[in-house]
Amino acid sequence: MARDNSPQERQKKQLERKQGQRASYDRILIVSEGSKTEPNYFREIRAAYRLHTANVEVRPSESGTAPIQVVQYAQALFEEGDRYKNIQRRAFEQVYAVFDRDDHASYHDALALAASLNGKLKNDARQPIRFQAIASVPSFELWLLLHYEEVQAPLHRNEVMRRLKLHIPGYDKGAGDAFSTTARHLAVAIQRAEGLAARFSAYTEPEPFTAIMELVKLLTTLRS
């Protein structure tokens, strides 16, 4: 019998190969509001810590950049997969939706939706998954700024950018080396972000807050 070499069969084999090659730690899906800065940052961490690409999938939202759209896209990508991106249905133990407070009207709805999905969705092993919003108030750049200075009071995103550029001249959204540029200060950034998290939360805006450190700590310790 002739071997089936159709595009569908080749794609199926690619998915099976990717699944077979994944490492023993949890499969993680990260969906971000930003199309460049955040995906590049997490992909840099993935490469720096030699995490298997079959275990850590990083994707920008393709349904829009509003927080609710980011969470909805993360849910849809988990539940339905995407054969064009070689992502199987329900092939993760943990799903993270990364977005900023900024001035988004759907911010609180996104937090609520993510919380409602946590522990309710099941993966391909019929296990409940972790589904978490990774929010920053006011923006992702607060996390980068914490690598260089303490922040205790509310800041507008424009002020965050202004201060960050004092430490990283020429920084702009879409930068492809944010992790390598800031990594030497990672420990102090985590400490400062944890200090903020002890006082504030994603719900206590406009107080400064970022949950990025939770995801960074996870990714940097997966292989340990």
The 10s digit of each residue's pLDDT in 150-179 is 999 999 999 999 999 999 998 988 778 999
Does residue 56 lie in a domain region? yes
For residue 212, give its domain range. Answer: 24-221
Confidence band of 20 (pLDDT split at 50, 70, 90): very low
Tokens at residue 188, please?
A: 């102090």
Does residue 151 lie in a domain region? yes
Query: Which residue pairs from 179-187 have beta carbons closer than 8 angstroms and sit at least 24 positions apart in sequence?
Result: 179/41, 179/44, 179/45, 179/48, 180/44, 180/48, 182/144, 182/147, 182/148, 183/48, 185/147, 185/148, 186/147, 186/216, 186/220
Judge if the upstream peptide bond of residue 206 is cis by omega within 30 degrees of 0. yes
Does residue 42 lie in a domain region? yes
For residue 93, the 8-state DSSP code is S
Does residue 186 lie in a domain region? yes
CB 32 within 8 Å of CB 99: yes
Confidence band of 4 (pLDDT split at 50, 70, 90): low
Does residue 3 lie in a domain region? no
Does residue 14 lie in a domain region? no
Does residue 1 lie in a domain region? no
pLDDT at 176: 81
Q: Provide CB contacts within 8 A for 6, sequence distance 6+.
A: none
The 10s digit of each residue's pLDDT in 104-141 is 999 999 999 999 999 999 999 999 999 999 999 999 99
Distance separating alpha carbons of residues 39 and 66, to the nearest angstrom: 16
Q: Which of 97, 89, 51, 44 is nearest to 72 (CA)?
A: 97
Please state the pTM of the whole predicted model: 0.89
pLDDT at 10: 55
Model confidence at 148: pLDDT above 50: yes
Confidence band of 2 (pLDDT split at 50, 70, 90): very low
Collapsing DSSP to helix, strand or coil, 210 comes out as strand
Give the number of residues written for the chain: 224
Number of domains in the chain: 1
> Could you count the other beta carbons within 10 Å of the beta carbon of residue 135?
25
Can you tell me the mean pLDDT for 15-29? 67
Which residue do the tokens 């070499």 mark? 5
Query: Which residue pairs from 9-14 have beta carbons closer than 8 angstroms and sit at least 24 positions apart in sequence?
Result: 11/83, 11/86, 14/86
The 10s digit of each residue's pLDDT in 68-98 is 999 999 999 999 999 999 999 999 999 999 9
